[in-house]
Homo-oligomer: A and B are copies of this chain.
């Protein structure tokens, strides 16, 4: 059974557009934020250490999001992250946002490990992979 990594974001004034709902671009900033939080708290690899000391990074290969219902000012948005596929260098995240039982969006977000010096892809080191594996959604079948 996969673990889910979860954080909360209060929907603020600055997230909302003239229609009074979250401007979709801000959902991508929140997706970026939960990935960063997961690396720090679950993989024990804060982004400052990752980028500055280890000179590695996880640039985004592709990302996408399905928006089900609008989010409003004052909502407490629960974000949930799991891994739908863990490759040799890449990670595909399955990220959901809900307010109470009301699902607001679902994103898939793929990143891949590169050296910041050569920009070549690197295999995910075993110590990192071990901390990532519990978040993998079990393959069906």
**Residues of A bordering B, CB below 8 Å:** 12-14, 16-20, 23-25, 28-29, 32-33, 36, 46-49, 51-52, 57, 59-67, 70, 72-74, 116
Contacts and interface: CB of A to CB of B under 8 A. Distances in A.
B72 A61 contact: no
A29 B14 contact: yes
B14 A16 contact: no
Judged by DSSP, the binding face of A is mixed
Contacts of A46: 74
Given A12-B47, A14-B23, A14-B25, A67 B59 contact: yes
A52 B19 CA distance: 10
Contacts of A74: 46-49
Contacts of A57: 19
A67 B72 contact: no
B73 A51 contact: yes
A18 B28 contact: no
A7 to B, nearest CB: 11
Given A13-B47, A16-B18, A61-B67, 16 more contacts: A12-B32, A13-B23, A14-B23, A14-B29, A18-B18, A18-B51, A19-B51, A19-B57, A19-B116, A20-B52, A25-B28, A47-B74, A62-B65, A62-B66, A63-B64, A63-B67
